[in-house]
Amino acid sequence: MPTLRILTYPDPFLKKEAGPIETVDEQIVTLANDMLETMYNAPGVGLAAPQVGEDKRLVVIDVNQKEGEQDPLVLINPEVVDSDGEVVYEEGCLSVPDCLADIKRAERVRVRGLDLEGNPVDIEADDLLAIALQHEIDHLNGVLIIDRISPLKRELYRRKVRKALKEKQANA
Summarised one tens digit per residue, pLDDT across range 49-94 is: 999 999 999 999 999 876 667 899 999 999 999 999 999 999 999 9
Catalogue all structural domains in the chain, each as residue range(s) with its CATH number. Answer: 12-171 (3.90.45.10)
Catalytic residues: 136
Q: Are 85 and 106 in contact (CB under 8 A)?
A: yes
- Give this prediction's pTM: 0.93
Summarised one tens digit per residue, pLDDT across range 15-56 is: 999 999 999 999 999 999 999 999 999 989 999 999 999 999
**Cα separation of the two ends of the chain:** 31
Query: DSSP characters for 32-85?
Result: HHHHHHHHHHTT-SEEEGGGGT--S-EEEE-SSGGGT----EEEEEEEEEEEE-
**DSSP SS3 for 9:** coil
